[in-house]
Chains A and B, each alone.
Chain A
């Protein structure tokens, strides 16, 4: 079955530091890949997505590139802010017609804390 593995947290950084959160996946075919963010006390918000190999998703200074050859979708940001403190989830959705289409499979989440 499909699975997503994220780097273990928590991750603690100083403001303006470079962020990488690793994400690798196991799936058949060509799944869509997502990063969701959960701010304290809130629901999940889509941060960015990519639907095919070599696609780069980007939003709010965050980027992730769909790497089919390494089955990875690492999240990066060049300069984090205190307001980026949240839990970040990598997820995949099977391709249309796949047995798990429509079902998001999540990684375990990575807690990010950014200090001033």
Chain B
């Protein structure tokens, strides 16, 4: 009964390939996120979706495209992989409902991460 799950856990691929990482949450949350953790452990948000709608899109190359088929899933597709894309990618979700001004719960729950290695 994992709350936020990601697949695969490890992904090793060649430069130039296209790959996807999947994320699912069974918490009934409305908002999901993708974060990137670099080799120095620094974490930075990439995207956020609320009820399948893109809310946050940080300065991320357009080779990265999130897709949310429903509010329980947020997948990350990466085209033309580059060496610099090697990192750990974390999915997260939160209960908060975008636009509400009172009583929102902003705690984010993270998945186990996907370690992407581009050779």
Point out residues on A near B: beta carbons under 8 Å: 32, 34, 36, 38, 42-46, 49, 87, 89, 93, 96-97, 101-106, 108-109, 111
Contacts and interface: CB of A to CB of B under 8 A. Distances in A.
Residue of B40, B55, B94, B106 with most chain A CB atoms under a 10 A cut-off: B106
A96 B100 contact: yes
Nearest to A93: B106
Contacts of A87: 41
Interface stretch (B67-75, B79-87, B108-116): B108-116
A89 B112 contact: no
B110 A43 contact: yes
Given A38-B41, A93-B108, A97-B101, 15 more contacts: A34-B107, A42-B113, A43-B90, A43-B113, A44-B110, A45-B110, A46-B107, A46-B108, A102-B33, A103-B45, A104-B43, A104-B92, A106-B42, A109-B42, A109-B43
Interface of B: 4, 31, 33, 35, 40-45, 48, 50, 55-56, 90, 92, 94, 96, 98, 100-102, 104, 106-113
A103 B46 CA distance: 9
B44 A106 contact: yes
A33 B63 CA distance: 32
B42 A44 contact: no
Nearest to B41: A109
30 contacts: A32-B106, A36-B110, A38-B41, A42-B112, A43-B90, A43-B111, A43-B112, A43-B113, A44-B92, A46-B109, A87-B41, A93-B106, A96-B96, A96-B100, A96-B102, A96-B106, A97-B101, A102-B56, A102-B96, A102-B98, A103-B48, A104-B45, A104-B92, A104-B108, A106-B42, A106-B43, A106-B44, A108-B42, A109-B42, A109-B43
A102 B32 CA distance: 10
A87 B39 CA distance: 13
